[in-house]
Amino acid sequence: MKYAILLSYDGTNYRGWQTQKNGISVQSVLEGAAYAAFGKKVNIVASGRTDSGVHAAGQVCHFSADIAVPAEKIADALNFRLPPDISVLKSVAAPAEFDSNRSAKQKTYCYRMYVARREHPLKSRYAVAVYPRPDIGLMREGARLFCGVHDFKAYCASGSSAKTTVREVFSVGVRAAFSRGCDDIEIEVCGGGFLYNMVRTMAGTLLFLGQGRLTLSDIKNSLELGERALVGKTMPAKGLTLEIVDYGFDLFGSE
Amino acid sequence: MKYAILLSYDGTNYRGWQTQKNGISVQSVLEGAAYAAFGKKVNIVASGRTDSGVHAAGQVCHFSADIAVPAEKIADALNFRLPPDISVLKSVAAPAEFDSNRSAKQKTYCYRMYVARREHPLKSRYAVAVYPRPDIGLMREGARLFCGVHDFKAYCASGSSAKTTVREVFSVGVRAAFSRGCDDIEIEVCGGGFLYNMVRTMAGTLLFLGQGRLTLSDIKNSLELGERALVGKTMPAKGLTLEIVDYGFDLFGSE
């Protein structure tokens, strides 16, 4: 039987999704919980890797196993063996051909910042303090330049093994809201797939644009020429969250 | 010289504001940082104690000290010696008669919940999962009953040393917003002062009302008769945040 799970984790204490030689990964903890729950080794495949320190609100995974637990009870069986910073929100039986990675049609990431000269302990776990205040209107103009099919070579960490650096970005939204004495800024990026560090580098580029350290022309040129020197810094992992993975059908049903 | 500081902390790892015999308090860590920064013992007074595990977005403290550091630099001098879950957001010179506790005119607390059968790791640090879904309209009706001057004896933890259990509540707001697959509920309580556990017990009572486990009459009677049996449970500390302390003048200025 094939199963799909909707997974959320606080990435602070993990070296990313994938099992690594040093440091604990979300995958290894989850597979450990599955082994304890089902009494057999299970290989759990995610929609994609998340980097060290990146969070997930709606990661999707699949696995195949011959187990007696009803599909909808798998979530509780796993949660019983998981630490509080990893939780299975839903579990369902999946179509035989379903593959959480290859079947994914669209992914939504959100990068969070707040405008402050000093760290706010209640914001800093999932967002990054930035200063000075960026121009949100300008960031929105820059965001539009990313939409469509582009070669994101300039936004890809060196050493990536991707076959092509061409990706399609469906939308990039920039939201600002005032809370607790300062502005929160959210950059929501929706696309077919992303290169290693791509969303974090897009976020840093939009920030630099809003702060006047880069221009709209720089962004246009970075996409045309693929030059790393024209883009902003790769922002810290803790501000990034994988929000939604979309498969073109309602995999988990509604509550 | 008298100084005032605007302080934020993630209460997860502390046994509340006040220095305790066992466990680390926010006060003891802050006074330790002040000793390291100024080379002298400083007694730091907060607007009020927060309980073990309760957070603060805008706690206000004062202290008197004969130090050479300019008032606005005190924040950075302290932050340099503070862990990431405690941060001084602003520091100013305060009027000689200013007392962060006795001068406070109004405090705003926020209690956060989300409607879910399973814990969400990215919500559960600062909010509590509740199920089944409460009726928000009914919670708002109940919230209105708390406004005004009442004897909150039924909402006070036993063993409190308060001289009187009469308090004035200025407003109670109930907000709901959908995020990441479930409803977030915020109960914002604004008042002249609060008894030990009062806001957490008010939040539990509004939740029980919304879930049909208590009635509007129960709340009316709890305020008239002071009977503990008529109120809901005291909600967990982690959902509570001290948001704002108001002194009737702009103590910290605007950024």
**Residue A87: which of B9, B88, B120 has the nearest Cβ?**
B120
User: What percentage of chain A reaches a pLDDT higher than 90?
Assistant: 91
CA distance B217 to chain A (A): 32
Q: Any catalytic annotation for residue B184?
A: no
Determine the pLDDT at residue B228.
Answer: 86
Exposed / middle / buried, residue A201 (Cβ in 10 Å: 0-12, 13-18, 19+): buried
Phi, psi (rounded to 5 degrees) for A179:
-150, 140
Phi, psi (rounded to 5 degrees) for A225:
-100, -15
**Does the CB of A79 have a partner CB in chain B at under 8 Å?**
yes
| Of residues B172, B166, B140, the one with CA closest to residue B153 | B166
- Which amino acid makes up residue B253? G
pLDDT digits (tens, 9 = 90+) for B192-222: 999 999 999 999 999 999 999 999 999 999 9
| Token code pair at residue B246 | 């108001």
**Residue A121: which of B10, B76, B116 has the nearest Cβ?**
B10
Determine the pLDDT at residue A254.
Answer: 66
Determine the pLDDT at residue B195.
Answer: 93
* Band of residue A22 on the pLDDT scale cut at 50, 70, 90: confident
* Band of residue A160 on the pLDDT scale cut at 50, 70, 90: low
Distance CA A19, CA A42 (A): 14
User: What secondary structure letter does DSSP report for A170?
Assistant: E
Q: Which residue has the tokens 């340099």?
A: B80
- Decide if B86 and A121 are in contact by the 8 Å CB cutoff: yes
pLDDT digits (tens, 9 = 90+) for A139-153: 999 999 999 999 999
- Over residues B140-166, mean pLDDT: 90
**Does the CB of A120 have a partner CB in chain B at under 8 Å?**
yes
* Band of residue B8 on the pLDDT scale cut at 50, 70, 90: very high
The full set of domains in chain B, from first to last, is: 2-103 (3.30.70.580), 106-243 (3.30.70.660)
Has residue B170 got a pLDDT over 90?
yes
| pTM assigned to the model | 0.94
